[in-house]
Amino acid sequence: MGPATQENPSLNMNGTPEHRRAAVDQSLLDLGLETIDLYQLHRVDPATRLEETMGTLKDMRDAGKIRHIVLSQVSI
C-alpha cells in the first residue's frame, strides 16, 4: 500500500502515539460517545514500533476511552 493521499485518506497508517490519540479523540467527538466499544487496528505503521502504538491504545483503554482493542491483518 502506498501512502495516504487526498484522494484516498483511508491508507493512512500513522501509528504514532500523537496520531492515535488524536484519531480516538476525534472519533469520540464525531460519534458523540464517551467510550469506543471496539477499536480495531487494521494495519501496522512500518515507521512506528507496534509496541509503541499498542502502548498508546492501552493507555487510552485504561483512561476509559476504549473498551476493547483488536488487531486485524497484523503480522510481526
Whether the predicted pLDDT of 11 surpasses 80:
no
Domain assignment of residue 39, yes or no? yes
**pLDDT score of 36:** 97
Domain assignment of residue 47, yes or no? yes
Structurally, the chain folds into a number of domains equal to 1
**pLDDT score of 57:** 96
Q: Which domain range does residue 61 map to?
A: 35-76
Domain assignment of residue 62, yes or no? yes
Domain assignment of residue 53, yes or no? yes
Domain assignment of residue 12, yes or no? no
pLDDT digits (tens, 9 = 90+) for 25-70: 999 999 999 999 999 998 889 899 999 999 999 999 999 999 999 9
Q: In whole angstroms, give the CA distance from residue 24 to residue 36.
A: 8
This prediction's pTM: 0.78
**Which residues have CB under 8 Å from 20's CB, separation 6+?**
14, 53, 56, 57, 60
